[in-house]
Amino acid sequence: MSDDLLQRVKVHGAVPAHIAIIMDGNGRWAKGRALPRPLGHHAGMRAVREVIQGCLDAGVGVLSLFAFSQENWQRPAVEIGALMSLLEEYIGRELDNLRSNGVVVRILGDIERLAPSARQAVYRVMEETAAGDRLALNLCISYSSRAEIARAARLLAEDAAAGRLDPRAIDEDAFAGRLYTAPWPDPDLLIRTSGEMRISNFLLWQLAYAELYVTPVLWPDFTRRHLFEAILEFQRRDRRFGRVSV
Ligand code: FPP
């Protein structure tokens, strides 16, 4: 049971407003069981459900999940196909549940690169969950942080060239306002599973002051309890944002 940990999270201190997760280790999870890699991704879907429920229970407002990077397009076609089908399966299966729990889903990334049926599914989940007001779920798909930053620069340049923006007014807020994440606060906590110590081109701008939490647990084994352990560790950290402790 993880409810004992949930109680501790609630009394221990402030809960992160925004949690970002690099869901890693599906391939190794499958390999360890002599299964094909796509079955590892399939098993990872259960962990997605767990962390969404955990965030709802703990009162986290924003959850950003790195589900598919632009670099992942270089994986074998069979694995890409399996991940796209999984995305459609996930949306088909979870849409009602997400909506009834007040989850609003956004897709961050280059949606136009998705296969037409996957694209249709992601537009559908965004449209049909738009009224959600308990948890914002950002699924980062075909996402690259450097591409997102270049896109923001392009949008600023277009506004300046069209005379809508004085280049001298370009500051951090103007820049952040052109990122996919414009509506949300920056992540307070980044969780990465499977023990790798990398950021892997994920939310590079937004993670400037995030607390980093790396666990050896492989993504398909990650549970609500692991999420609460990460939040408890976050609550023990002394966040100084470049200042000295008070
Ligand atoms: C990294 O593991 C994981 C991915 C590239 C895909 C993540 C996808 C899911 C968890 C599927 C369900 C999610 C949704 C939202 C439908 P890896 O393959 O790089 O693992 P490895 O490093 O062990 O090889």
State pLDDT tens for residues 57-112: 999 999 999 999 999 999 999 999 999 999 999 999 999 999 999 999 999 999 99
The stretch 175-193 carries a mean pLDDT of 98
The three-class DSSP label of residue 27 is: helix
Ligand 1 contact via 202 beta carbon (within 6 Å): no
Q: Dihedral through CA 6, CA 203, CA 122, CA 15, nearest 10?
A: 20
| Distance of alpha carbon 37 from alpha carbon 35, whole angstroms | 6
Ligand 1 contact via 219 beta carbon (within 6 Å): yes
| Distance of alpha carbon 157 from alpha carbon 184, whole angstroms | 23
| Distance of alpha carbon 196 from alpha carbon 39, whole angstroms | 21
What tokens appear for 83 in the block? 């991940």
Q: Whose CA is nearest to atom 6 of ligand 1?
A: 67
Residues 224 and 50 sit within 8 Å (Cβ to Cβ)? yes
Strand partners, 63: 19, 137
Q: Whose CA is nearest to atom 10 of ligand 1?
A: 44
Phi, psi for residue 111 in degrees, rounded to 5: -60, -30
Helices 3-12 and 224-236, packing angle to 10 deg: 20
| Predicted pLDDT of residue 242 | 83
- Which residues does 43 contact at the CB level (< 8 Å), separation at least 6? 26, 29, 30, 220
1 Cα–ligand 1 center, Å: 26
* Nearest atom, ligand 1, residue 30 CA: 23
Is residue 245's pLDDT more than 80?
no
| Distance of alpha carbon 94 from alpha carbon 90, whole angstroms | 6
Q: In whole angstroms, how far apart are CA 45 and each of 55, 131, 156, 175, 204?
A: 16, 24, 37, 33, 25
State pLDDT tens for residues 23-69: 999 999 999 999 999 999 999 999 999 999 999 999 999 999 999 99
| Predicted pLDDT of residue 13 | 87
Ligand 1 contact via 41 beta carbon (within 6 Å): yes
Residues, the chain: 246
The stretch 222-232 carries a mean pLDDT of 98
Ligand 1 contact via 72 beta carbon (within 6 Å): yes
| Predicted pLDDT of residue 243 | 84
24 is catalytic: yes
Residues 178 and 205 sit within 8 Å (Cβ to Cβ)? no
3 is catalytic: no
Return the residue matching tokens 């950290």.
237
Residues 8 and 228 sit within 8 Å (Cβ to Cβ)? yes
Is residue 246's pLDDT more than 70?
no
- Residue 101: is it exposed, middle or buried by C-beta count within 10 angstroms (0-12/13-18/19+)? middle
238 Cα–ligand 1 center, Å: 31
* Nearest atom, ligand 1, residue 67 CA: 7
- Give the confidence band of 1 by pLDDT, cuts at 50, 70, 90: low
Q: Whose CA is nearest to atom 1 of ligand 1?
A: 24
State pLDDT tens for residues 131-177: 999 999 999 999 999 999 999 999 999 999 999 999 999 999 999 99
The per-residue pLDDT of the chain, averaged, comes to 96
Ligand 1 contact via 86 beta carbon (within 6 Å): yes
